[in-house]
Amino acid sequence: MFNAEIQKESIVELKNEARPRGEFSYTTKRLGEKITYEGEFKIIDRPRILEFTWNEGRAGVALNTIRVLFEGAAQNTKLKISLVLDHSEEINADNIKSLWSQRTKALSTLLSK
């Protein structure tokens, strides 16, 4: 999901408390720069809903909310991702949506193997 084909980055560190109000952070390396993303799990309703906050972990970068709905479909699972972006991120909305779309396609490819 986070690789050179999508955004020329790799994950170099990951911390994850997968529970409601649990925090997570991961650090990527992109073009020689380390970027830390962080957030908090708001809803974990297995196997239907995952909702979490997410931001780049830098001062002045907005906090966004990601909601993932999982729907069973025959032998597959459909994902529906909703993004609630801070108003300051509106200028980047198309790029953010595109990256999440690419990441879910990459995840689908990995899970189909």
Q: Are strands 33-45 and 76-84 parallel, antiparallel or unpaired?
A: unpaired
Question: What's the pLDDT at 79?
Answer: 84
> How confident is the prediction for the chain on average, in pLDDT?
84
Could you read off the pLDDT of 35-83 as tens digits, one per residue? Answer: 898 999 999 999 899 999 988 766 666 788 999 999 887 778 888 889 8
pLDDT at 25 over 60: yes
Q: What is the domain range of residue 21?
A: 4-112
Looking up residue 92, the CATH number of its domain turns out to be 3.30.530.20
Sheet holding 23-30, edge to edge: 9-16, 23-30, 33-45, 49-54, 64-73, 76-84
pLDDT at 19 over 90: yes
Question: What's the pLDDT at 29?
Answer: 87
| pTM, rounded to two decimals | 0.77
pLDDT band for 99, please (50, 70, 90 cuts). Answer: confident
Count: domains in the chain = 1
